[in-house]
Amino acid sequence: MFDRFQLALRQLLADTNRAGTEHDADSSPRWPAEGDGSPLSRASAAFLVALSGEDHPEYSRVLALLADPDVRAFYRRALALIRAEIQESARAFPELGESIEELALSSSTQRGEPDLDAVEKRWSVFFPEGAEIRGHEEQRIEALRERRSVAIERLNPEPIADPAREVLFTSNVLLTIPLSDGKPDTLPFSNELKERVAKAAAEPQEYWYDHPIPIGIEPSKNEILRGLRGLQQTLLFERERGTTDPGARLACLLSVSVTHSGLQAVARRYVEEELRRAGDWEGLEVFVFSEADVRRLVREVLVPAVTAAGRNESESSLSASTSDAVSENLLEVFGVDGAYGRHYSFLKAMPALWGVLVDPQKRGTFKIDLDQQFPNEKLVEETGASAFEHLCTPLWGAEGADAAGQKVELGMIAGALVNLGDIDRSLFTPDVPFPNRPLSPDEHIFFSALPQALSTEAEMMTRYGAGEALDGRTACLQRVHMTGGTNGILFDHLRRHRPFTPSFFGRAEDQAYILSVLNTPGPRLSYAHASGLIMRHDKHAFALKAMDSAFVGKLIGDYERILYFSAYGRLLGLEDVKEAVDPFTGCFVSRIPITVTCIRFALRALGFFDAGEVERGNDFVRIGGRRLGRAIDFAFGPRGELERRYQEERSGWDLFYDILDGLQRGLVRRDARALELQARAGEIMDGCRVRL
């Protein structure tokens, strides 16, 4: 079987030949002349040639190149891993083997530029989720909407009535060191803060985010200020509209995650100083939680709560003797530093804790991203409802049955996005349109923009209306395709279903959140699509510097995403998961994840070098080789680290919610220990309040 795969790969290399002049079976990426370009460029080309088999005329030459140390070790290892994966997966998935045979047969006869049919055959092996979309967009949109439809059996009889009072808004601040053209000693902050930032800047980077906020970035380009100012304007707009009290205040909880460990100690201080300098935050109450603040909550409130809950064995299985283990377990799952999955779960769970210990009026939480804002006037103009009015929909908390007859609880809510540059056309302009351009070489292997556009149109752009099949009263859409912000969950559903994103997810944490509850018994927790609840996405208007500096790290995270989602999908039941979340989320759950990731990686690297971006290409290969090597070990290594981590985190979150239930029971009974812990939590949380 592997020889058939190699034949198909040789044709792929011919079709994606960077010189673009020859298309025969022995064609390969344009080979750099000796001394030309980067050694890592030659290593990337060598990997693809070696993978395509001994029949390639350059085969013996490239083996010598791949014998060099450093990142080339990643490519050498990938050769063996791909061979094993193709053979094993072809046995496990007979349809994959058939697709490889068909692709090899067509490759042996193909000449000239690949046509649509040739690309579709290739995708049937590497990227089946993208097949049969192009040319059939409208049919696929309608079919996906039918799959996502929910027959409503019971609308929420007590929907959110006043979001300012009942919903805790959240967001995450992602901090990094100053940009390369900035000097910490010139920053407009206190001397202590500047000294700590300078020290952190000398440390190695530990975590990578899409577009973290560089400390010292000018206020006009600072996501924290723009995002919170937009939220404040929404509150003032809702006050004037009469959808909340004239004196209503809106609580916003911010977590702060950092790229360098040395920033942990100054994260909250930095946010506070920026907000105070900006001034005039009427109506907002902002609480900032760093990793240090969360650790205090765990050690001083949650761990002692185990003892309090364990007093009544009939109500809890927890006991005081487990306190030491509890501390370590909770610190692993409940926190804000690390990959995206960790803070995403925190921003759902922390508001539930808030609702028990601080403000029982809070019934749910809603997350925004700080590069997004509610376009208040435009919302009312085009949808007839403001942001708060959309959040009051009785769909949020409704019950029904999906297209397959499965009972669902719509305890979560999801909106959509429109790009700043498109909003003048309409709010209902998809932020990811169907791509209409030639494929780059790596997109012959993986082209997520295509199913992403399909899901965007089918799910996010759905509008309810009288006389329509999806009227928002008797039938609605459940969402699978999510964005990092513009989504919420009701606390009673959160505490019963206990969803979470494992902390190893560094990309698409929003997509991963629902996977943890897909195969649980009883009614399935789902997102209600809130038609018209649309936020404006502004990042390209002000975050270009931050995005550019984080580009390579973000791109590598997209490759890790295939490995982690695929391993996680297998752990949860691959076929069931793919059936539920195809096409977009599901396209990252691959039958041959190592193969797809490594070939796509090498082709993308060659794209950088061919475009003359040698420095970026070197960074991509060097950093990516290390990170992807670790990701493969974690996801598919013999020690089963990913499965072990998932099971530990599942237990940790169960323990968190057990503690929360125990605390609530104690407070109802007016138990002295529970009241004491409530007071202690209040002190810690009040200490996180920004004094504006």
Confirm whether 351 is domain-assigned. Answer: yes
**Which residue, 65, 92, 126, sits at the end of a domain?**
126
468: helix, strand or coil: coil
State the first-to-last Cα distance of the chain, in angstroms, to the nearest integer. 66
pLDDT at 50 over 70: yes
b/e burial code for range 660-679 (CB count within 10 A of at least 16 → b): bbbbbbbbeeebeebeebbe
What confidence score (pLDDT) does residue 101 get? 87
Most confident of 33-42, 207-216, 323-332, 490-499: 490-499
pLDDT at 34 over 60: no
Confirm whether 132 is domain-assigned. Answer: no
Confirm whether 156 is domain-assigned. Answer: yes
Q: Are 57 and 109 part of one and the same domain? A: yes
From CA 622, how far away is CA 94, in angstroms rounded? 36
Q: Are 473 and 385 part of one and the same domain? A: yes
What confidence score (pLDDT) does residue 308 get? 58
Helices 672-687 and 641-668 cross at an angle (nearest 10°) of: 120
pLDDT at 648 over 80: yes
What confidence score (pLDDT) does residue 21 get? 35
What confidence score (pLDDT) does residue 109 get? 58
Confirm whether 134 is domain-assigned. Answer: no
List for the chain the helix, strand, coil content (%; round to 5): 55, 10, 35
From CA 353, how far away is CA 656, in angstroms rounded? 9
Q: Are 245 and 295 part of one and the same domain? A: no
Q: Are 279 and 300 part of one and the same domain? A: no
| Residue of 257, 262, 254 lying closest to 194 (CA atoms) | 262
> Measuring CA to CA, how many Å separate 172 from each of 354, 458, 493?
17, 28, 22
Q: What is the DSSP string of 80-132?
A: HHHHHHHHHHHHH-HHHHHHHHHHHHHHHH--SS--HHHHHHHHHHH-GGGTT
- Cis amide bond preceding 583, omega within 30: yes
Confirm whether 183 is domain-assigned. Answer: yes
What confidence score (pLDDT) does residue 546 get? 57
From CA 219, how far away is CA 538, in angstroms rounded? 15
One-letter amino acid for residue 24 of the chain: D
Q: What is the DSSP string of 558-571?
A: HHHHHHHHHHHHHH
Q: For 466-576, where are the E strands, in sequence order?
A: 475-479, 487-490, 524-537
From CA 111, how far away is CA 263, in angstroms rounded? 56
Tens digit of each residue's pLDDT (9 = 90 or more) over 285-328: 999 999 989 999 999 999 999 865 544 443 444 454 456 667 66
Q: Are 155 and 93 part of one and the same domain? A: no
Residue 174 CB partners (closer than 8 Å, separation 6+): 209, 210, 211, 212, 213, 257, 258, 259
Confirm whether 630 is domain-assigned. Answer: no
What confidence score (pLDDT) does residue 6 get? 86
Tens digit of each residue's pLDDT (9 = 90 or more) over 375-432: 999 999 999 999 999 999 999 999 999 999 999 999 999 999 999 999 999 999 999 9
Domain count, the chain: 3
Tens digit of each residue's pLDDT (9 = 90 or more) over 510-540: 999 999 999 888 999 999 999 999 999 987 6
Question: What is the pTM for the complete model shown?
Answer: 0.91
Tens digit of each residue's pLDDT (9 = 90 or more) over 335-375: 999 889 999 999 999 999 999 999 999 999 999 999 999 99
Q: Are 325 and 375 part of one and the same domain? A: no
Q: Are 225 and 110 part of one and the same domain? A: no
Q: Are 56 and 176 part of one and the same domain? A: no
Confirm whether 525 is domain-assigned. Answer: yes
**Which residue, 126, 160, 192, sits at the end of a domain?**
126
pLDDT at 140 over 70: yes
Confirm whether 597 is domain-assigned. Answer: no
Is 27:13 a contact under the CB 8 Å cutoff? yes
> What does the pLDDT average to over 274-291?
93
What confidence score (pLDDT) does residue 309 get? 53
Helices (H) and strands (E) in the chain, counts: 29, 12
Q: Are 366 and 514 part of one and the same domain? A: yes
Domain of residue 528, residue span: 148-290+336-539+546-591
From CA 282, how far away is CA 280, in angstroms rounded? 6
